[in-house]
Amino acid sequence: MLAQGGRGSAILLLLALIGAGWLWLQLGQESAPRLSVWGVQGGAAAVGAVAGGGLSGVAQAQQQGRGLPSDARPQGNPLQAPNTVMTQGYGVGSHAPAAVWGGVDLAIDGNGDGAADPEGTQDHPVYATHDGVVKLTPNSWPGGNHLWLANDSYRTGYAHLAGYAVQDGQAVRRGELIGYVGTTGQSSGPHLHYDIWIYEGGSWVNVTPLEYGALDGTGQ
Ligand SMILES: [Zn+2]
């Protein structure tokens, strides 16, 4: 009897362990599909290179001041204009797959007809949506004049710029002017390609800028 009882308990324990493992797997999958691992332009190694200069200083300032995530976390429309329109959404067209190319294309409707207006968009100022350190990649493909803004937890990409208002390695705060909209690289007209990445579980993962206020103030 004793031996049999012991075996029964062992089987129950085994079943409980299997159940817990299954639940753990389900929970893990629940949080995974939203995003995926960044897989281009050198991946995490390239990001490490971006993070190489002076990031710790920024992070320390954050923790002493208003705290991480408020200013470190991307928030708002990088064009800061109520007549911003989205010319290509997240994860569609050239923004697919979102895990690699996810982002949104933003332009200005200068004449109020509801559509992007090249004259109103070209050279429009671009503003940092969070605190970070600048990494410039001029004349790249497909991003043209590209700008990364990175800190320990977040980074944002700004592509196809006409020009830069900051220098490589410069630390900037949210709201600072960083560049001007253009149509450099693989682009059919003046617009800002804007993307957001989060450092999570040891790698950078792409998220939709629409959940970080990219169209704030536009009524969209
Ligand atoms: Zn784009």
The answer as to whether 50 is a domain residue is: yes
The answer as to whether 217 is a domain residue is: no
The answer as to whether 219 is a domain residue is: no
Residues 20 and 47 in one domain: no
- pLDDT tens-digit profile of 111-139? 889 899 999 999 999 999 999 999 999 99
- pLDDT tens-digit profile of 145-202? 999 999 999 999 999 999 999 999 999 999 999 999 999 999 999 999 999 999 999 9
Residues 23 and 51 in one domain: no
Sequence-ordered strand ranges (E) for the chain: 84-88, 104-108, 125-127, 132-140, 144-150, 154-164, 171-172, 177-181, 192-200, 203-207
End-to-end Cα separation, the chain, in angstroms: 71
Residues 6 and 54 in one domain: no
Residues 111 and 198 in one domain: yes
Residues 104 and 13 in one domain: no
Q: How far is the CA of 26 from the centre of ligand 1 (A)?
A: 33
Residues 29 and 103 in one domain: no
Surrounding residues of ion ligand 1, Cβ less than 5 A: 105, 193
Q: How far is the CA of 104 from the centre of ligand 1 (A)?
A: 6
Q: How far is the CA of 20 from the centre of ligand 1 (A)?
A: 42
Residues 121 and 158 in one domain: yes
User: Which sequence positions are flagged as catalytic?
Assistant: 191
CATH code for the domain of 156:
2.70.70.10
Is the whole-model pTM more than 0.75? no
* Domain residue limits at 130: 43-212
3-state secondary structure of 134: strand
Q: How far is the CA of 96 from the centre of ligand 1 (A)?
A: 10
The answer as to whether 220 is a domain residue is: no
User: How many domains in the chain?
Assistant: 2
Q: In whole angstroms, how large is the CA radius of gyration of the chain?
A: 22
